[in-house]
Structure 1
Amino acid sequence: MTSWRALLLAGLFPLVGVAQQPQGQQAVPLQAPQLSPQQQAALDQLLNAWEARNARVTTWSCTFYKWEYNAWSPADAAGERLAFSESTGEIKYAAPDKGLFRVKSSKQWNPEQRQYESRPSGTGEHWVCNGSSIYEFRHPERQLRETKLPPEMRGKAISEGPLPFVFGAKAATLKKRYVMRIITPPGVTDQVWLEAQPRFQVDAANFSKVELILQTADLMPFAIQIYKPGGQDRDVYQFDPRTSLIDRGLDLIRDFSRPLTPLGYTFIEEQGAGG
């Protein structure tokens, strides 16, 4: 299972300078459809408007729902694959380089019992980035790990990381790193759907394709679907607009400071992208 913290760390160090020198990265062969001039103009207009909207967001918090689909997923009566696990949690962001991701509750399919079972609370994915370090709770090992970011990534680690779609990267950066197109279904007027395929191996190692849904009213993310490399496995995140708080409700010290080490856990400090 690929975590958001893993996606973030996996690309931080190889991505130093990628926005300025993409030719230095190993390209991925793609068979992407050629956009017409009208389609390219619409994409450019959307990305520029999205960048302008992101530039006005200083803080954001939201409840998310996650569904994970993989080879162990059950199927319904019609043969459609259902989620292997379902989770609920919170995501927080403060421009330009602070973030929090925490799973609060989850359940997972038990193939032997043929039912979903709740997972213990306090054991889900949980990480905090304060701009200079990423703190990750590794519950199975009972560890709190700090990974220090290189100086050149501080101040932009999240938006320049390997998954910038939620955290407001620049339009030029997105176009350099991904082959993108608008794929909004016919008849949908309150959303814009985007597809992005990685141009470079550093991103392709983490996902083969991303589909993002933006709300047309405010160009804030509504959902994101991440396809894993080499198969049909995917993670789906939906962000609940009823809980979305933009530029209010966050405490920068409380929400993004170094977490306290839980009782019985070991604090471990790492230099670089630890595994």
Structure 2
Amino acid sequence: MRLQGLALTVLLMAAAPLVAQRPQTPPTTPTAQTAQPAAADPLDGYLERWQKTMEQVQALSAQIKRTEKDQTTDVEKHFTGFTKYLRVGAGATTQNLALLQMTPDGKKDFSERFVCSGALLYEFRQSEKVVMAHELPKPRAGQVSDDNFLSFLFGMKKEEAQKRYDLKLTKTDQFYLYVDIQPRFAADKVDFKRAQIVLNKETMLPRRLWFESPNSTQVTWDVVQINSNDKTIDRREFDAPTPPAGWKMTQAPKDADVTPRVARPSGGN
């Protein structure tokens, strides 16, 4: 089973403002014998600044909406919710904490809730009234595990991103930058065929994330409001949750698949 919610970490990976672009050294005038170098891809600069910024992100919150559209039936589902992220510790002891909650529009009870306490990911299963505790894999010594989705996204280097995904800055307009994403490897192609993230051109904060699943269901995450320096976030929000009345806590099997790379639609396989 692959869990929901990782799309939020994709939003988080681009959530903090990117630092101002550093002044470029004026190029020397090429001689007649020197070939003109190819123009640099502007996306490289964004990726470098994203990498440096994500290393400094400590606390983030966002109000979000999600739309799922089934291309076969043309049926849409709409959800509203929020996410929070907190980094604690430093170096080898760093922990990436997160929570996500989504509620179907017009409904009172949430349909999805996840709490990542660092070592464990707690999945609230509304239909079963169960909080399932999944143990997150630990990275190998000296490495950031790409199986621990928060560590992967918040520790990912520019070179890793370019190796794993085909990234293209496909459009810019007065307000936004549009970056198309395609997976290079089979493991990622199981999760999505293509995606696009839209960044606010002035603040460099994410405005929208869209992706298409292998079954052609289209999922759009809209970031309604985002705070990349939320000092109101409390560390205790990410502690092991107390199950609601009538619910029970249970441990997921060791072989359960708990680390999706992108969130699938709620009706996905």
Give me the TM-score of the superposition, normalised by structure 2: 0.72
Q: Is the 8 A contact 2:144 2:155 kept in 1?
A: no
Cα 1:138–1:191 change in 2 (3 A) is same
Are 1:57 and 2:44 an aligned pair? no
Find the counterpart in structure 2 of residue 228 from structure 1. 213
Matches within 5 A, 1:79-94: 84-94=76-86
Secondary structure of 2:171 counterpart: coil
Deviations, residues 82-111 of structure 1 (Å, cap 9, x unaligned)? x611111001112352111101x323xxxx
Of 139, 146, 149, which aligns to 1:158?
149
In structure 1, runs of 5+ residues without a counterpart are 9-35, 75-82, 108-117
Tell me, in whole angstroms, the C-alpha distance in 2 between the residues paired with 1:140 and 1:202: 29
Are 1:239 and 2:226 an aligned pair? no
Secondary structure of 2:139 counterpart: helix
Cα 1:239–1:135 change in 2 (3 A) is same
Q: Is the 8 A contact 2:104 2:110 kept in 1?
A: no
Deviations, residues 99-131 of structure 1 (Å, cap 9, x unaligned)? 11101x323xxxxxxxxxx33x22311101111
Find the counterpart in structure 1 of residue 136 from structure 2. 149
Find the counterpart in structure 1 of residue 101 from structure 2. 102
Larger Cα-atom Rg: 2
Find the counterpart in structure 1 of residue 231 from structure 2. 248
Are 1:191 and 2:173 an aligned pair? no
Secondary structure of 1:264 counterpart: coil
Aligned-partner residue type, residue 58 of structure 1? Q
Tell me, in whole angstroms, the C-alpha distance in 2 between the residues paired with 1:136 and 1:67: 21
Q: Is the 8 A contact 1:69 1:85 kept in 2?
A: yes
Tell me, in whole angstroms, the C-alpha distance in 1 between the residues paired with 2:155 and 2:176: 18
Tell me, in whole angstroms, the C-alpha distance in 2 between the residues paired with 1:184 and 1:168: 27
Are 1:138 and 2:125 an aligned pair? yes
Find the counterpart in structure 2 of residue 174 from structure 1. 161
Cα 1:263–1:72 change in 2 (3 A) is farther
Q: Is the 8 A contact 2:168 2:179 kept in 1?
A: yes
Tell me, in whole angstroms, the C-alpha distance in 1 between the residues paired with 2:186 and 2:5: 19
Q: Is the 8 A contact 2:208 2:222 kept in 1?
A: yes
Secondary structure of 1:152 counterpart: coil
Q: Is the 8 A contact 1:179 1:197 kept in 2?
A: yes
Q: Is the 8 A contact 1:159 1:169 kept in 2?
A: no
Aligned residues: percent identity? 21
Find the counterpart in structure 2 of residue 47 from structure 1. 47
Q: Is the 8 A contact 2:171 2:178 kept in 1?
A: yes
Of 244, 248, 251, which aligns to 1:266?
248
Tell me, in whole angstroms, the C-alpha distance in 1 between the residues paired with 2:156 and 2:252: 27
Aligned-partner residue type, residue 64 of structure 1? I
Secondary structure of 2:174 counterpart: coil
Q: Is the 8 A contact 2:198 2:206 kept in 1?
A: yes
**Pairwise CA RMSD of aligned residues?**
2.8
Tell me, in whole angstroms, the C-alpha distance in 2 between the residues paired with 1:198 and 1:172: 14
Aligned length: 218
In structure 2, runs of 5+ residues without a counterpart are 9-36, 88-94, 258-269
